[in-house]
Structures are given as structure tokens and as C-alpha cells.
Structure 1
């Protein structure tokens, strides 16, 4: 642990010790006590170890958990970073009513922000529990991930595990914040859109810690339109090339619909990039495809469709464990009904349906069913272009790509 209490119950913060002489003086003027359990602790500060406090006797105190050197160094750098922003920041502040001590605790005028720096894989349930108790007490929470948890794949796509998805924050389109203690830099992933349960595309930006502030996180540059569409369509092209291999699992269900409808190349309005793709933890081609075939494919032009029926279908798929959903620490992200609304927004912009009164939509055009692989790729470009305009509120003709 980095903080302890002295005999006067003053907080001793080792991150504030600037010289070896200060540490030596602290060693001589003990005793020190754990802020949690109030039992004696010893200051350890040698040539090899990072200075820290440790319990003298074996204890079951929650404050006894061992920290990696990487975690301590990263926490120290983040502590210094927030201090330079002239914020009131405390390290390992013990919250007795919650029996928790977030890595950093930042007091702002209107709210308190708890910052957790995560270096390793932990059970998602533990992450959710720690976050929920803080938020239920009126505090805001930000998870900053160690860059070891960032897995970049080809074509600037990223593999996000459940911890990373849970840590998403709503900035423009969903974003993630990483810290690299070796390079002393922040990594921001922005414009993150899910293609499959783990594969996302987005924009990666690296900032040295001395040239970063929260304004840069909140006002990121939008990803280039052509770059975004190219990345998305490379993934979709791969899916089309190997879709014949989906003979098992949930994607087999969609394949059966295609077979019954005598469709070789599914329409481009299935598998489009939507902000809400991350909510359902299934391939976007699966859940968008099933919605399309159940509610739009066989409907006559001019027929009305009740949006509530689509939402009920999606909710039932989740309740019956046919579709999984992700968990998010940011409540703005995880609204299941968004999946339906955002997909309908796309179909409206793509001129397949139009909204009418009383929560209904009307089909105004049939989807183009590609007759060749090349036509399917061309149609995918058009649909991704429309989706991009919708994602980033671009007021342009949807067919300008």
C-alpha cells in the first residue's frame, strides 16, 4: 500500500516523498497503521523494492493485496498527472462506508471521480461490483487500462475482452483510455464500433503524458471516412468469403434463413456499423440479419411495422439466452432498445422504411439482393457510407462514396 496513518492519524503518502532522505526519516519516526484495519504496518524502502507499507502480522485486511511494480509505477504517474491539472487528488483513499480504496480519488466542484488503473485480467463480476458500489454512492468512475490489455489486430481492428468493453466511455462514439507506463504515454481508442463480440474497429491515438489533458479525450478527432469504410468492409468481405464455413453455432441460424430465401449474397443492410453494435454480444451480421428477415424481408411495400414488436423480439432473444449482452460501467451505452432504434434509423436513412405516427414504420423499398460477389462488395460500400453519416452526423448525400 502507498498510504498509511502515523500515530497522530495523519495520512502519510509515499508518492509525496521526493528524496531517499525523506524515506529514511519516515522509517525512523514510526509507528504506522493501516487506514483500513488500523493494525501496524512497516515501511519497506530498499534499493530493489518500490517504497510501500506492508502489514507486520499476517492479516485478512483487504489492503494487504500485493501490487505489481507496473501497477505502482502507473498509479504514481497517473497521480502526478492529475496533480499537474491542479486537481485535488488522493491516492488509495479509504472509503469506510464501502470498504473500498480506489487507486485515485479526485474531488471536483460538482462530483467525485474515482479512477481505477487496471493492469491485469480480473473477473468481470469483481469489476462490476467495485464500480457499482462507488456509483451507487454518487461517485463517478473511470477505468484506465494498462496497454498490455490492448490487442491490436490487422487493418487497425482491435480485440476487446469483456473488461475492456465494460470500461467503454461515451465520448462522441464509444472510447477507451489506456496508459503505457514504459513509454509514459496515454493511448486513446475512439470511434469504436463492434463487428463481432470481440472485434472492433476504431481510431488509435498516442499522447505523451506531458502533452495530454482531459480535453483531448473529450474532443477527439473523428476517424477519416474513407479509412473507416475501408476497414469495415475488409472485415465484411472476409465474412462473405468464408460464410460457407458457418455450419455450427448461432450464425447457422442466419444461414438457414438465407437458404430458405434462396439468397447467396445477403443484402448490404445486414452487418452495418452502428454505435449500438456493442450492446448485443453477438455478431452484428447475426442480430441485424435476424431482425431483417423476421420483420422486413417478406413485408410488402406500403405495409406498416410496429417497432414495439421488434423490441419485444430482441428482449425475448436476450431473456431466453439466445443472445448475450455486454455490461457497461457507463449507463449511457447499454440500453438494449438502442439496438432496434439505431438500426431503424439506418434503414430510414438508407430509404428502406420511413417513420410514421404511433411508433410505427412503413416499408417503402425492397433491399437489393446482390447477384454477385462484386455487387455485394459495392453495396457494402454504400451501406457503410450511409452508416458513417449517421454515426457522425454528417449531413451529406448517402451515395457520395
Structure 2
């Protein structure tokens, strides 16, 4: 986890002194700050703890949260992580836990949700609606899975035969774009990924039928229904990006619902 409590004050593992009296914000057990050159800075429970916060978190998810905390801290935001936001009594869920919660000088909050695994559209929709009820903007950040054919193009990298799941399609449509940021844990950086159709070439053919007649068919290209291509621009470090916030109204697109909400995405500083 990225946050602990020291003398009643929430402290990020990023840059935390090693000699603090750190305790878990959930169970109040002592936790240890770990700050290595290879592993991401974090707090850890002692072995055998039954606290839910002690459950092992994937390295990719933890690194992505740390990256976003650094990015917004560099921009002058107040940064917190793993924050439980209390919903009204009438809400379907008691609270929401933001992976990273940042607040600007005007007091406006932004919840950053890192997605390292696929979740259903209903889950995304419910969480986005809840943040809107809490007057909190939301940013969805998927973790890039480099499990396809990778080549180079004029922007940087081209990931071919990429299987884009419904979750990612919803996130793109939510921000009215074909381009959105993906976190790459192997580089600890962000790629700006643009969705492109994947073209498949059908080769030309020549053959003779059973009567000895010559036949031929010309080759052609068709768009895959299974795969897309991702054109990746970057990679960008935490000091090379800035957030852009916009408001969108509720709508339905591709038979999928989208709530009224303020959303955020990242763009390179030069944009």
C-alpha cells in the first residue's frame, strides 16, 4: 500500500522518512516503509497480518499508483492514495476507495482508478456515477499488456493484433476519443495509445476447376473483428504529462450507457 498514518497524519511512502511510527490506516497495526531502487516505494504489514490491506497487490498496479502520485505531486496537487470516500446513506454502496485521490488548490478532487485486470461495464458505470455524486472527477488508467506483435511506426511503436476488451472500449468512448493513456510497468511510463483498425490481407488465388477451366480471385484487405492495432506515442515520464478535465453529459453510444460526470485524461506537456 502507498499510504500509512504517522501521529494521525496520512503519509505517502514516496519520500517518507524511514524512522516514522507508521501504522495501517485500516487496522492500526505497525507497517514498514520499503524504499528500494528497484521495488516501488510502499508500506508493508508484518508477515501473518489478517488486515485486508495486507493482501498482496500486483507490482504493476502498485507502480501505476506510485507513478500517478509522483505526476500530480510534481504539479502541485495535494496527493493521497487508497482513500475511502463515503457515499450518501441512500447509495447502493457504503463507500468507494480511490487508488489515488488528488486535490487542486481550488479544492476540486480527482479520483484516479488504475485497472490492471478486466472489469465489467456495470462496474465502471457504478463507480463513475458514485464519483460524480461525490463531486469528484474520475480518470481511468488501464495497464498496457504487451502481449501482441510489436513493430515501429512514425509515432513510436505499433502493437498489432491487440485484443481490446469491452472495458477499454468503454473508457475510450467515455472520454470521446480514440486516444488514451496506458501505463507501461516495464518502463514506468505512459504511452498515448491510438486505436486503429487491424487490416488482414486475403491473398490472391489462381486455380483450375475439375473441367480444366482457369479461375482467379484478386487479393484484398478486410478489417478484423477480433483485433485492433494500437499506435503508441511515447513513452512519457511523470514530469512530461499534464491532466485535462472536461465535463460530459449522460448518453448512450454503441448501446452502452455513459453517465454525466467530469472526467480527466493525460496529455503530453507540449500538447
Pair in the same fold by TM > 0.5: yes
Instruction: Please name the residue that 1:101 is paired with.
Output: 97
Instruction: Please name the residue that 1:140 is paired with.
Output: 137
Instruction: Please name the residue that 1:184 is paired with.
Output: 188
Give the distance between the partners of 1:328 and 1:193, measured in 2 at CA: 24
Give the distance between the partners of 2:195 and 2:188, measured in 1 at CA: 23
Structure 2 matches for 1:170-209, cutoff 5 A?
A: 173-190=177-194, 199-200=227-228, 203-209=231-237
> Structure 1 329/151 Cα, relative in aligned 2: closer, same or farther at 3 Å?
farther
Give the distance between the partners of 2:96 and 2:30, measured in 1 at CA: 18
Query: Does the CA contact (< 8 Å) of 1:45 and 1:52 recur in 2?
Result: yes
Give the distance between the partners of 1:3 and 1:100, measured in 2 at CA: 16
Instruction: Please name the residue that 1:77 is paired with.
Output: 67
Larger RCO of the pair (alpha carbons < 8 Å, separation 6+): 2
Aligned residues: 216
Deviation of the 1:161 alpha carbon: 0.1
Give the distance between the partners of 2:54 and 2:225, measured in 1 at CA: 36
Instruction: Please name the residue that 2:115 is paired with.
Output: 118
More helix by share: 1
More strand by share: 2
Deviation of the 1:80 alpha carbon: 0.8
User: Per-residue CA shift, 1:309-362, capped at 9, x if unaligned?
Assistant: xxxxxxxxxxxxxxxx34557769xxxxxxxxxxxxxxxxxxxxxxxxxxxxxx
Query: Does the CA contact (< 8 Å) of 2:192 and 2:233 recur in 1?
Result: yes
Instruction: Give unpaired runs (5+ residues) of structure 2.
Output: 88-93, 151-157, 199-222, 246-251, 263-271
TM-score (norm 2): 0.62
Query: Does the CA contact (< 8 Å) of 1:167 and 1:328 recur in 2?
Result: no
Matched, 1:5 2:5: yes
Instruction: Please name the residue that 1:213 is paired with.
Output: 241
Deviation of the 1:170 alpha carbon: 5.6
Structure 2 matches for 1:327-338, cutoff 5 A?
A: 328=258
> Structure 1 192/211 Cα, relative in aligned 2: closer, same or farther at 3 Å?
farther
Query: Does the CA contact (< 8 Å) of 2:2 and 2:66 recur in 1?
Result: no
Give the distance between the partners of 1:49 and 1:173, measured in 2 at CA: 34
Query: Does the CA contact (< 8 Å) of 1:165 and 1:326 recur in 2?
Result: no
Structure 2 matches for 1:2-401, cutoff 5 A?
A: 2-6=2-6, 8-17=7-16, 22-23=17-18, 25-26=19-20, 29=21, 32=23, 34-36=24-26, 38-43=27-32, 45=34, 51-54=42-45, 57-59=49-51, 61=52, 63-97=53-87, 98-108=94-104, 109=106, 111-148=108-145, 158-168=162-172, 173-190=177-194, 199-200=227-228, 203-209=231-237, 212-214=240-242, 279-280=253-254, 325-326=255-256, 328=258
Query: Does the CA contact (< 8 Å) of 2:143 and 2:183 recur in 1?
Result: yes
TM-score (norm 1): 0.44
Query: Does the CA contact (< 8 Å) of 1:74 and 1:179 recur in 2?
Result: yes
Instruction: Give unpaired runs (5+ residues) of structure 1.
Output: 219-277, 281-324, 333-401
More moved, 97-106 vs 71-80: 97-106
SS of match in other structure, 1:143: strand
Larger Rg: 1
